[in-house]
Structure 1
Amino acid sequence: MSDPKYGEPIEEHPPVETTSVDEAVASAHAGLADAEAASREAAVDAPSTADAEAADAVHTSASAASEQAPQPVVAEPARAESTPATHTEPVYGSSFADDPVDETYVPGAYSSSAETVVVAEPVVPVVPAAAPAPQPIFVQAPEPPRLRGNRGAAGAIGLLAAVAFGILYLGAALGLQAIRGEVTGANVGTAALAAVQSWWLWVPVVVFFIGFWLLGAVINRGRWGHWVIFGLLVGVVAYAGHLLGQLFQAPFWTLTARQGADLVQGQLLAPLAIVAFVLGRELTIWFGAWVAARGKRVTELNDEAQREYERTLEAGPRLHQS
């Protein structure tokens, strides 16, 4: 194309028709609005499983509307500090220079703000977490009560009975010696002191205590009637203790077998041997009543402890908070 010369007419080209930018933007907004309304209706009416399909439909409609709408031609924005300028291209010898085209750029005039499409996410049912299994609590079972015995008390009471036996046995021996004229008021102290230092007194006392305690260990918490019946055995033991005391007093390790037999035979019916038997029998009865009374009390305590143990088992284990 050659430049026009002076005096030649200039051909004027008809203006090119362009699609209005406002109409394109309005069409895009209308498509987005329709898509949003369709997605909202689908989210309300359809179950949660169809939400994904509604979201796809919305995005498809919006994409189609955007493709159908003509894309606006936007001029490059000028710097902020510069003022909008009007560009006019003069043509020599033409009236087209008298009608400048106003190409003023207004920032933000052609920018379209897309509305945010909220798509309902599928509702996931919340399953409550399973509660942890309770840990077993080990409770120590109560121990059965330990039954109390009466053997210790029988031994302690037997000591008192042995002291009583020794005093009565010594008094009976001094009395028999006084009858024979061996002990008088002048030498009674000397005779008593000599008896305390002799075997014939302590051996029967020790044997009596052993017999009493053994019987108490067997009877334990038994009734007094047991002491009355089996006290005869303690009398026999005391009688045997008298004979053994005479042998220790001899002493028997210096005697021959014949002499030892004659000594025992001479003491079989001796008055002091009979006294030992009677004292052993009677003291066992009366001191045995004391042991039996304590045994009865111990039995009651054992029964009460057993009942308490059974009540505890029936009640079951309990947790005590501190």
Structure 2
Amino acid sequence: MSDSKSTYGEPVEEPTPEGDVVGRAHEGLAEAEAARAESADPGVTAPATASSDAPVEPAPAAAPAEPDPWDSAEAASLQYDRAPAPAADTAVYDSSAETVAVAPAVTPSEPVADTVVASPVAPQPIFVQAPEAPRPRGNRAAAGAIGLVAALAFAVLYFAVWLALAAIAGELNVDDIAGHALAALSSWVLWVPVIVFFFSFWLLGAIINRGRWGSWVIFGLLVGFASWGGYLLGQLFQEQFWNITASQGAELMEQHILAPLAIAAFIIGRELTIWFGAWAASRGKRVTELNVEAQREYERTLEAGPQLVRQ
């Protein structure tokens, strides 16, 4: 019992964390038992009052102390577990101070002072731009524009031949030259060959495109024949073929098939095609060189590899 007394009288204080309710309760019980043991000691008696007359009564015997359940070998051998530390947002009751301390909880949504959060920079997309093959340039539009100039030259030359033939035939007088010129300008025989020459020249230019001048020289015969046919078609319009019979139309064609103006239309159309065709061929040669250079640049771009373009 002496060992248990010494163990009970001098309890070993284990370090307890702040807010350990079980540890504080054990300490309070130990102090209360120690105070009760001291008050129950028979050696300590209350002082008697000094009275000579009153009889002195003997002090009552102290009642035997009840056995303390904590004063045993079993209680001394017990081991107490520490209470777990209070988690966040848990109210802790302190029995000595009688205060309640609530640990503040920090929510993730609350911003922390003096903290700078840098947002990540989104990477910029990178595109690989594939080169496009060059589109070959043509010479057809230029041939049409050159054909307009050639048709204007055809009209001037054909009108001059008309006046010259009229003067040779004695049909043109100096006093009546203006009237004869107006009659020629208002005739289908003058304008139909001009229109046919323009379309035949443009069609030949569309076929040759960027071809050489030799093609214009050879196929210029076709434009000459078309101009000759335009003269005959102009005669049919001039005689209003819708009002004549087929035999009359055939007879009209026989009369003008080798007419001087028909031959003049063939020659003028043939020669203008050669010379204005040289202009179109020169322009076509230049376009061909540009196409070759564009193709070479395209091949150099392919050899250099893909290029990264940031947008």
1:75 pairs with 2:31: yes
User: Partners in 2 of 1:229 and 1:194 — Cα distance?
Assistant: 35
Q: Which amino acid aligns with 2:248?
A: Q
User: Partners in 2 of 1:74 and 1:272 — Cα distance?
Assistant: 147
1:90 pairs with 2:79: no
Select 1:214's aligned residue among 203, 228, 231: 203
Select 1:185's aligned residue among 174, 186, 191: 174
The answer for the alignment partner of 1:170 in structure 2 is 159
The answer for the alignment partner of 1:110 in structure 2 is none
User: Helix, strand or coil: the match of 1:320?
Assistant: strand
The TM-score normalised by the length of structure 1 is: 0.59
User: Partners in 1 of 2:9 and 2:185 — Cα distance?
Assistant: 144
User: Helix, strand or coil: the match of 1:262?
Assistant: helix
User: Partners in 2 of 1:173 and 1:196 — Cα distance?
Assistant: 10
- Aligned positions, number: 223
Select 1:297's aligned residue among 286, 290, 298: 286
Q: Report which stretch shifted further, 257-266 or 177-186.
A: 257-266
Shift of residue 271, structure 1, vs aligned partner: 1.7
Q: How does 1:1-322 map to 2 (within 5 A)?
A: 16=2, 19=6, 74-76=30-32, 89-90=43-44, 139=128, 141-322=130-311
Q: Report which stretch shifted further, 306-315 or 181-190.
A: 306-315
Shift of residue 278, structure 1, vs aligned partner: 0.8
Note if contact 2:193-2:230 (Cα within 8 Å) is conserved in structure 1.
yes
Note if contact 2:126-2:308 (Cα within 8 Å) is conserved in structure 1.
no
Q: Deviations over 1:169-215 (max 9, x none)?
A: 01101100001111122211111111111100011111111110110
Same amino acid, percent of matched pairs: 61
Q: Deviations over 1:20-62 (max 9, x none)?
A: 7999969x99xxxxxxxxxxxxxxxxxxxxxxxxxxxxxxxxx
User: Helix, strand or coil: the match of 1:319?
Assistant: strand
User: Partners in 2 of 1:78 and 1:91 — Cα distance?
Assistant: 18
User: Partners in 2 of 1:179 and 1:197 — Cα distance?
Assistant: 21
Inter-CA distance 270–77: structure 2 relative to 1 (3 Å threshold): farther
Large movers: runs of 4+ above 6 Å: 20-24, 134-138
Shift of residue 315, structure 1, vs aligned partner: 3.1
User: Helix, strand or coil: the match of 2:277?
Assistant: helix
Shift of residue 263, structure 1, vs aligned partner: 2.0
Note if contact 2:192-2:233 (Cα within 8 Å) is conserved in structure 1.
yes
Note if contact 2:143-2:202 (Cα within 8 Å) is conserved in structure 1.
yes
Q: Which runs of 5+ in 1 are unaligned?
A: 1-14, 30-72, 80-84, 94-133
RMSD across aligned C-alpha pairs, in angstroms? Answer: 3.8
Q: Which runs of 5+ in 2 are unaligned?
A: 16-28, 47-57, 59-122
Q: Which amino acid aligns with 2:199?
A: I
Shift of residue 88, structure 1, vs aligned partner: 8.1
Q: Deviations over 1:221-261 (max 9, x none)?
A: 11111111111111111111112112222232333333322
The TM-score normalised by the length of structure 2 is: 0.61
User: Partners in 2 of 1:184 and 1:76 — Cα distance?
Assistant: 160
1 or 2 for the larger relative contact order (CA 8 Å, sep ≥6)? 2
